[in-house]
């Protein structure tokens, strides 16, 4: 049996817990290439030959480390945080620190042997990096525009903000050009984008975001696992006849993917006939507006998943289940 390595990762560093039989070795490393090399040396010093490394899907914080370990020949699993949370609840674990979480992830890995992770193709990694940079620039521009709209501020400050916005506009235009060029460079990727944009409500940028955030679509067993990855699965609260809480989305998953689907869901409520009818049925049952939008987001992702798996464009008969 290979040794188990649980990893709890954050922006600045990551904590490792090495399960070797009943022994647990713990150490923290910086979340940098230098830290990755230190981890390799640490494993080598303990004469570790085979490792099954396991970490949570953290929306990008652990991607570089996962790729490093994969390239080093180790088995790597990247799991939905909700699975780790459920495992912690089964252990009645109340203490939460980075070191404790790393050991928890290691025990989860040993108990459940999650499936191996494979890094996406190079072009999909590049697309993901471009999309995430694009979103960061959009957020920066939004912040600057909010500052410009503030009632106070000298002429010099307003001129500075205006200059920064202009620079951000240029940077955003360049990123959009690079994204289009990437699709032109890889025809199979462009074909996937074109299939996605056949869904009313999904434009080219939304399609690029979906492809960037779920690059290994065939690793998902079904559409339920894809919606769980995005945190779009409904969570029901019911116990007996007395506890009947309002259903809501779990929101434990890829927040970038959820955000990418929000405005397309609003558009789809008007221009995607199956989803318009679906929204009207929910409204007739008295569902709140945000619940309906969340449900449409989930249906959009189910449609996108099915189209990416089949390679066929959207047809009006292929209504979401």
The C-alpha atoms of residue 46 and residue 99 are separated, in whole angstroms, by 19
pLDDT at 242 over 80: no
Give 240's pLDDT tier (boundaries 50, 70, 90): very low
Nearest to 178 by CA among 144, 186, 264: 186
- Does residue 151 lie within any of the structural domains? yes
- Does residue 243 have a pLDDT over 50? no
Q: What per-residue confidence (pLDDT) applies to 321?
A: 46
Based on the fold, state whether residues 32 and 14 are members of the same structural domain.
Answer: yes
43: Cβ contacts below 8 Å, ≥ 6 apart: 5, 18, 51
70 and 157 housed in the same domain = no
Contact in structure between 249 and 233 (CB atoms under 8 Å): yes
Please say which residue of 137, 165, 185 terminates a domain. Answer: 185
Q: How confident is the model at residue 232 (pLDDT cuts 50, 70, 90)?
A: confident
pLDDT at 219 over 90: no
Give the range of the structural domain holding residue 131, as residue numbers without chain letter: 122-185
Residue 211 makes CB contacts below 8 A (sequence gap 6+) with: 124, 127, 189, 192, 193, 196
pLDDT in tens, 175-212: 999 999 999 999 999 999 999 999 999 999 999 999 99
- Write the pLDDT tens digit of every residue in 136-165: 999 999 999 999 988 877 889 999 999 999
- For residues 10 and 108, membership in a common domain is answered with yes
134 and 68 inside one domain: no
- 99 assigned to some structural domain: yes
| Count of domains forming the chain | 3
Taking 80 as the threshold, does the pLDDT of residue 233 lie above it? Answer: no
> Cα(297)–Cα(305) distance, rounded to whole angstroms?
12
- Among the candidates 112, 133, 162, a domain finishes at 112
Whether residue 153 is contained in a domain is answered as yes
Using CA atoms, how far apart are residues 99 and 219, in angstroms rounded to an integer? 29
Domain shared by 12 and 107, yes or no: yes
Same domain, residue pair 234 and 253:
yes
Residue 70 lies in a domain: yes
Which has the higher per-residue pLDDT, 184 or 238?
184
Average of per-residue pLDDT values in the chain: 88
Report d(CA 240, CA 259) in Å as an integer: 34
User: Is there a domain that residue 321 lies in?
Assistant: no
Confidence check: pLDDT of 15 > 90: yes
Claim to verify: residue 181 and residue 235 sit in the same structural domain: no
Token pair recorded at residue 7: 């990893």
User: Looking at residue 27, which CATH number applies to its domain?
Assistant: 3.30.420.40
Confidence grade of residue 317 (pLDDT, cut at 50, 70, 90): low
Q: Are 48 and 131 contained in the same domain?
A: no
Q: How far is residue 165 from each of residues 134, 177, 188, measured CA to CA in Å?
A: 14, 18, 35
Gap between the Cα atoms of 123 and 125, Å rounded: 5
In this predicted structure, what is the pLDDT of residue 181? 97
Residue 224, helix vs strand vs coil = helix
Predicted model pTM: 0.77
Residue 59 domain flag: yes
Instruction: Let me know whether 70 and 154 are in one domain.
Output: no
CB–CB of 252/229 below 8 Å? no
Residues in Cβ contact with 251 at an 8 Å cutoff, skipping those fewer than 6 apart: 231, 258
Q: Let me know whether 106 and 139 are in one domain.
A: no
Q: Which of 159, 164, 162, 157 is nearest to 140 (CA)?
A: 164
- Within-domain flag for 193: no
Distance CA 106, CA 101 (A): 9
Last residue of a domain, one of 185, 200, 225: 185
Q: Report pLDDT for 205.
A: 94
The angle that helices 289-310 and 255-271 make with each other, rounded to 10 degrees, is 100
């Amino acid at each position: 049996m290979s040794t188990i390595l649980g990893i709890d990762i954050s922006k600045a560093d990551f904590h490792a817990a090495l399960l070797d039989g009943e022994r647990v070795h713990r150490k923290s490393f910086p979340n940098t290439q230098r830290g990755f090399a230190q981890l390799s040396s640490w494993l080598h010093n303990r004469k570790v030959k085979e490792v099954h490394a396991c970490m949570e899907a953290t929306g990008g914080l652990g991607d570089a480390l996962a790729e490093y370990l994969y390239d080093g020949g180790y088995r790597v699993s990247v799991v939905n945080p909700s699975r780790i949370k459920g495992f912690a609840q089964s252990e009645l674990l109340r203490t939460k620190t980075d070191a404790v979480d790393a050991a928890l992830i290691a025990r989860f890995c040993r108990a459940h042997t999650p499936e191996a992770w494979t890094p996406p193709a190079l072009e999909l990694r590049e697309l993901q990096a471009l999309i995430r940079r694009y979103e960061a620039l959009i957020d920066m521009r939004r912040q600057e525009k909010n500052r410009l709209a503030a009632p106070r501020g000298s002429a010099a400050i307003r001129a500075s903000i205006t200059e920064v916005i202009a620079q951000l506009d240029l940077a955003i235009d360049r990123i959009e050009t690079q994204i289009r060029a990437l699709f032109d460079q890889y025809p199979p990727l462009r074909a996937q984008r074109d299939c996605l944009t056949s869904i009313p409500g999904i434009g080219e940028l939304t399609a690029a975001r979906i492809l960037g955030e779920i690059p290994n679509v065939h690793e998902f067993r079904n559409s339920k696992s894809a919606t769980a990855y995005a945190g779009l699965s409904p969570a029901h609260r019911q116990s007996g006849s007395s506890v009947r809480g309002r259903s809501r989305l779990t929101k434990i998953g890829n927040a970038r993917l959820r955000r990418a689907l929000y405005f397309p869901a609003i558009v789809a409520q008007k221009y995607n006939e199956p989803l318009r009818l679906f929204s009207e049925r929910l409204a007739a049952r008295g569902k709140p507006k945000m619940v309906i939008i969340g449900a449409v987001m989930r249906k959009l992702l189910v449609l996108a998943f099915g189209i990416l798996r089949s390679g066929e464009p959207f047809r009006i008969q292929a209504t979401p289940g």
